[in-house]
Amino acid sequence: MTRPADTPDSAQDGAPDGPPEARSAAPSGARPGVRPAPWVRTRLRSAPSSALLAAALAFVAVLLAAALPRALDRGADQALRSFLADRGPAATSLLATSTARYGKQSPENLDSVRDALLARTGDGFAIAPSGTVHGTQAAKARSLANPELPHPDGVQPRLDLLYLREAAAHAELVDGRWPSGGAPDGRVPVALSQQVAQTLGVRVGTVLETVANSSDPMSAEVVGLYRATDEADVFWTGLPCLTRACESYTPTVPPQRFWQTAALVGSDGLDRLGPWGEGAEDFWRLPVDTGRLRADLLPGVAREVAAYVGGPTASALRSTTQRSDLRITSRLPDLFKQAEARQQAVAPLAAIGPAGVAGVAAVVFCLAAALTGDRRESELRLLLARGGSPRGIVGRLLGEGAVTVLPASAAATVLALWLLATPRWTAALLAAASVTLLALLAFPVRAAVLLSARRRGPAPRRRLVAELLVVAATAAAVFEVRRRGVAPAGDGLDPLLVAAPLLLALCGGLVLARLQPVLVGALARAAGRRPGLVGFLGLARAARGTGGRARPSVLPLIALLLAVTTGGFGATVLDSVDTGRLRVARLAVGGDVQIAAPYGDALPPAMAEATAALPGVRTSVGVWTDDRAFVFGTVQGSTQVTVVVAEPVAYAQLARTVGRGQFDPALLSGKGGDGSTEAPVPALFSSDLAKLAASGTYRLSLGAGGELQIGSVGVVEGTPAKPGAGGAVVVLPAGPTTALLPRTGHPDRWLATGEVDGDRLREAVRATAPAGTAGQFTVRTSAATAAELGSDPLQRSAVRLFWASVAGAAGFALLAVLLTLVRAAPERAALLARLRTMGLRPRDGIRLILTEALPQALAATLGGALVAAAAVALLGPAMDLSALVGSTVPTGLGLTAPPVLTQALGLAFLVTVAVLAEAAISGRRQITTELRAGDQR
């Protein structure tokens, strides 16, 4: 017969069965032949709330630990695939080319080469389901001599010929037939896109004559018209002007427009492509399936692609296909390097938040172990005194913890693997196992320390040495980061950058642990000299530790400091990213808003007036621009420039706000343009132009005609009206310039700053645009541009991970505070019960609890804000935020108060609410229990 497991004797003594040393610890009054209750069952029944808390803590911590690598993997894979998908199928394809074989060309030969190319694709990368695109293309396009064809700027249209395998499967025939066979008089039968035919004004049966050049003249007969089933189909990507005519420009100055078109020939016309283009080229485009690529396997895939492009695989393909001139090119190797560099650049910044959560969680586990050890120290020493060995007791504690920790950890791991599905699970299992081990060993290790023989020696000296070691490690980490900066792209995660904020927070916690008892003790003495007992008692208890300690525990301070420091530092990083992104967007737009007219046209005056009257517009200016002007008289003789004509005062204010091209508007107020071309108009030269031109008078020739005499009166760094800081720019005042050239008084761009609603702006443009031209005006806003910069999945993943880490760190920090309150609750309840018998009111008890608990929490949040500011000041100059911004920005991190204060005040508010809730919920119950115990006594 077994004694019930929940009897007071078994629950109190926890008598183990099994080893001799454990049996010797059994109660002396136990009856012979009666088997003691099992240890684990006894302990779980005697303290079910502690067991549930340990299981819940292990479950949450393991869930976060196992989910973090999975989330990182998913974010990295999505970012890689999105980065490659944004580059388009042409950039993510393998392109093989070879000189066409005259007289031996056939579709079957093209197919055999395609099959050989597909056979050597590696296991790491596969071809997209859309399949390969292959055929033959004439080397050059021919100009068409038909006089009835459109001739923009007097230039004849040009026609290219291609043979495209399986084109009929991606298009439908609208009129006529697909080209096949020959044609009379040696004409090449071709099929044109319906859109191309409409642009050129041709139909089935039209004969397209070519201009005579070095080769014999040829002609093409349109035998069919087709329409692409889906113009967005990757099949048509990279093929020159097959679905619609392309507007192109000649390389002359000024450029002249012409129509560039292409037509399809049948398999019978393969041998005609060489004479048409003075040579022909076979091509095979193999689109890589970017949706199957994984970030962790990217280095191996990069090696396979490199071998395919210019390594042993390429050599083997030349031999297999018997084409010695087979050339394989791709942008994928460069794109892989860019993607890997972006991932490595974001990695240190993305790891700061998870590192903070890990640090706070580790502190919470240590705190829970310390508090449990304090609560059960007398029980453990009793077992040791009754014959139990330290090894046996620690082993039983391990078994006790395994019953609660291991099932919770296993459930959390399975849940994380199920919720975040990725092909990789090793890192998640290792992280989960590490946290499980910490949760399992924290209390047994603490118990082993308590049961071991006390070491002789001055404990304060050992503590001082440990603190000095932490300070030295922190100083070394900060110095190294400041000296060399963040690890360059390609070196992977920078451990110093991740560890430095945590070490700073740890140092702050140690310093605060030294200062808090002194400061709070001084406040207690000051409160003792004033009437009232609550303030003195609360501050006196806050200045010392519970359970007979001389000072409060340092672990809650470190947990709060870690949470506030990592949160404030990371929030400052994200705030700087938003600021940098908005600055880049403003520079790209030329302000917060830009409206541009079609090239050669002007903005209607009503449009500028209506948009300037919109709510939120602070500064607006209309500018006239010319990108094809020339300045004569420079060192080079003539220099092509961009001319900007604007009202000086409004334009100077805009340039100041945007941060590009600032100048004193008084420089352009000089007299000029009095009606004679001899009086020079004052002009501002960009720094690039100023290097080629000294001060003096120059002749400015505009691209659309007209000349001015201008004189340099200053230098500016670029202009808001043109993206990019480089280039030659000339800024002219509107008044004198318009007097000489009236057309410059009609702005073609409108720039403004302010918080303008984009929808209302576009509505105003549509309402004031001439009939049928609303779609020709380009509207850009800095908000939309900044949102586009921030749409990168790599950046979004890093931001989501950081805020999730902030929430996790805050939750663990609150748990640390609650654990501290729970540990002090019995002693505090006894004190309050005694004070209640002496007339203490209930609300005075709440005030006492707040006065005792809040000083440490509020001091920790304030100290965390100061440490976060110190981390920004010390580590900020070494941080490059370009990868998170989405564009190149200057290195450095600016210190701003709102992000740090938001994190500190937010956590202080949560801590205050937690303390109030604990006092309201458990305080009265504990006091009542204590009073009843006193009545029974």
* Alpha-carbon distances, residue 811 vs 235, 560, 563, 914 (angstroms): 52, 10, 9, 11
CA distance 507 to 466: 11
pLDDT per position as a tens digit, 581-623? 888 888 889 889 999 988 778 899 899 889 999 998 998 999 9
pLDDT per position as a tens digit, 455-483? 554 567 777 888 889 889 888 888 888 77
Q: Band of the pLDDT at 14, cuts 50, 70, 90?
A: very low
Cβ neighbours, 10 Å, residue 121: 18
Q: Band of the pLDDT at 773, cuts 50, 70, 90?
A: confident
Give residue 35's pLDDT. Answer: 57
Q: Band of the pLDDT at 684, cuts 50, 70, 90?
A: very high
Q: Which of 565, 465, 446, 524 is nearest to 868 (CA)?
A: 565
Give residue 10's pLDDT. Answer: 37
Give residue 453's pLDDT. Answer: 59
Q: Which of 61, 755, 907, 129 is nearest to 408 (CA)?
A: 61
CB 359 within 8 A of CB 502: yes
Q: Band of the pLDDT at 18, cuts 50, 70, 90?
A: very low
pLDDT at position 822 over 80 = no
Helix, strand, or coil (residue 833): helix
Here the tokens at position 217 are: 């003249």
pLDDT per position as a tens digit, 628-637? 889 988 888 8
* Alpha-carbon distances, residue 535 vs 110, 209, 548, 926 (angstroms): 91, 102, 20, 21
Q: Band of the pLDDT at 936, cuts 50, 70, 90?
A: very low
Here the tokens at position 870 are: 């110190």
Task: Let me know the angle formed at the C-alpha of 283 by 278 and 289, rounded to the nearest 5 degrees.
Answer: 155
Helix (H), strand (E) counts: the chain: 27, 21
Q: Which of 95, 90, 133, 100 is nearest to 309 (CA)?
A: 95
Q: Are strands 219-228 and 188-193 parallel, antiparallel or unpaired?
A: parallel
CA distance 373 to 378: 9
Q: Provide the mean pLDDT of the chain.
A: 82
Least confident of 609-618, 640-649, 883-892: 883-892
Centroid of chain to Cα 657: 27
pLDDT per position as a tens digit, 114-130? 999 998 887 778 888 88
The average pLDDT across 750-756 equals: 91
The average pLDDT across 690-703 equals: 83
CB 153 within 8 A of CB 258: yes
Centroid of chain to Cα 649: 39
Least confident of 36-40, 528-532, 686-690: 36-40
Q: Band of the pLDDT at 8, cuts 50, 70, 90?
A: very low
Give residue 932's pLDDT. Answer: 55
Environment class of 727 (CB within 10 Å of its CB; exposed 0-12, middle 13-18, buried 19+): middle
CB 14 within 8 A of CB 39: yes
Give residue 649's pLDDT. Answer: 92
Q: Band of the pLDDT at 180, cuts 50, 70, 90?
A: confident
pLDDT at position 4 over 70 = no
pLDDT at position 658 over 60 = yes
Least confident of 15-19, 293-297, 523-527, 649-653: 15-19
pLDDT at position 865 over 60 = yes
* Alpha-carbon distances, residue 631 vs 262, 667, 679, 692, 710 (angstroms): 39, 20, 16, 10, 9
pLDDT per position as a tens digit, 343-362? 877 877 778 888 889 989 99
Q: Which of 568, 588, 658, 647 is nearest to 873 (CA)?
A: 568
CA distance 496 to 875: 10
Helix, strand, or coil (residue 340): helix
